[in-house]
Amino acid sequence: MTTTFLVAIDGSEGSLRATNCAVERARAGQADLVLAYVIEWSPYSFNTPEELAQRHQRREEEIARAHKTVLDPVTASLKDKGVKVGTDVRHGHAAETLVELAKEHDAAQIFIGRKGESRMKTLLFGSVAGTLVQISPVPVTVVP
């Protein structure tokens, strides 16, 4: 059975550092990677049928844009690294969705970058990495 590492990416420098860390660990342990991009999205909305159709179209456009601007370039840069790489894009609450993806992909570990958010914003709203560390059923590596 192959080990899988889930890597949360968003195109930031922190997520690229997390990806590089995960690649090194995957190469050492002969693990596969799944690059996960989560688009913040609330499932709660009271819309007309026309608004729901527009919302669905926007979701599909966001998924395509996530692949084109973030996932595809990172995947291409990892082509010669000797690691099997898959991708997954989802809508939802970032930390909760990453936990769901870790379960679906039977991930042994999650890698995530620590963003340089302002101290006040982190105190008020928390961070995805901090929430993930608290709720994840598997080990989480937060890469500075």
**33-73 pLDDT, tens per residue?**
999 999 887 666 666 778 777 887 888 999 999 999 999 99
**Residue range of the domain that includes 58:** 4-143
Torsion angle, alpha carbons of 127, 128, 133, 139, to 10: -150
**98-122 pLDDT, tens per residue?**
999 999 999 999 999 987 444 544 5
Split into its structural domains, the chain has a count of 1
Query: How far apart are alpha carbons 59 and 47 in whole angstroms?
Result: 15
Contact predicate 116/14, CB 8 Å: yes
Question: What is the rounded average pLDDT of the residues 1-28?
Answer: 93
Q: Say yes or no to pLDDT of 76 above 50.
A: yes
Identify the CATH number of the domain in which residue 36 sits: 3.40.50.620
